[in-house]
Amino acid sequence: MKRQMDLPLPMPGEAEAKAAQALMAFLLRLRARGISDVAVLRALETTPRELFVPHRYRDLALRDMALPIPCGQTMPEAWLVARMMEALDLEPNHRVLEIGAGSGYATAVAARMAGEVVSCEIFEPLAMECAERLTRLGLANVKILQGNAFDLLPGLGLFDRVLIHGTMEGLPPALLECLAQDGVIVLARKSPRAATLTRIAHQPSGEFAETALCPCRFGSLINQAHQHA
């Protein structure tokens, strides 16, 4: 059969070598932007971002850029995911609550580092696709719940870390009640120019200390917390 295009066939192992080079370049770019936590970099290295990207954007998976996903949502750039993981300071014994699973990429990265991740996603199609991807990766320490996170909180127990993919002004009592002593919440706070990634740490005194980390692009949670504020 005559070939339509006379292109050289890839040599055995050539595709794997190119993929390894692209991954190395991806990690080097993260390091250049200040990501230094070895555990975070390892979790990113072993989580194939292309698995979480819509097919038409697969060639952009290792670019450090936000990408659109279904339901009008956005998959944050890898650097921001890495920054959130550094702010969470995850340990193998930590129980993590994630609000807004999205594509499941940050969920998978957190699951590589923590003991258990419970992720809530309000959009059913995203929740189903996310659960399927995590199953394919063999991550058995993740539970995906579909629905309003603040309706689901009662009965879920305490969490050492909470990751919120969205901006919030106040902190609903239901959220504070599920945070363990010495727990940490990472979310975005609104500011005049752009949202700011913020770390909120539960102090031994019972107070909460907020630390502004960096600008970020997160929208408000879709009325999820409004009735619980």
What CATH number is given to the structural domain containing 200?
Answer: 3.40.50.150
| Per-residue pLDDT tens over the stretch 177-229 | 899 989 999 999 987 777 899 999 998 888 889 999 998 888 776 555 544 44
Kindly state whether residue 25 falls inside one of the protein's structural domains.
yes
What's the total number of domains in the chain?
1
Q: Is the pLDDT of residue 50 over 90?
A: yes
| Per-residue pLDDT tens over the stretch 145-185 | 999 999 999 889 999 999 999 998 888 888 988 999 899 99
Percent of the chain scoring above 70 in pLDDT = 91
In order, the DSSP letters of the chain are ---SS--PPPPTTHHHHHHHHHHHHHHHHHHHTT---HHHHHHHHTS-GGGGS-GGGGGGTTSSS-EEETTTEEEPPHHHHHHHHHHHT--TT-EEEEE--TTSHHHHHHHHHSSEEEEEESSHHHHHHHHHHHHHTT-TTEEEEES-HHHH-TTS--EEEEEEEEE-SS--HHHHHTEEEEEEEEEEE--SSSEEEEEEEE-TTS-EEEEEEEEE--PBPSSTTGGG-
Kindly state whether residue 2 falls inside one of the protein's structural domains.
no
Kindly state whether residue 5 falls inside one of the protein's structural domains.
no
Q: pLDDT band at residue 38, thresholds of 50, 70 and 90?
A: very high
Kindly state whether residue 158 falls inside one of the protein's structural domains.
yes
Q: Please report how the helices 38-45 and 78-88 are oriented relative to each other, as an axis angle in degrees rounded to 10.
A: 140
Kindly state whether residue 3 falls inside one of the protein's structural domains.
no
Kindly state whether residue 210 falls inside one of the protein's structural domains.
yes
Kindly state whether residue 42 falls inside one of the protein's structural domains.
yes
| Domain span holding position 161 | 15-228
Percent of the chain scoring above 90 in pLDDT = 72
State the average pLDDT for the chain.
89
Q: pLDDT band at residue 8, thresholds of 50, 70 and 90?
A: low
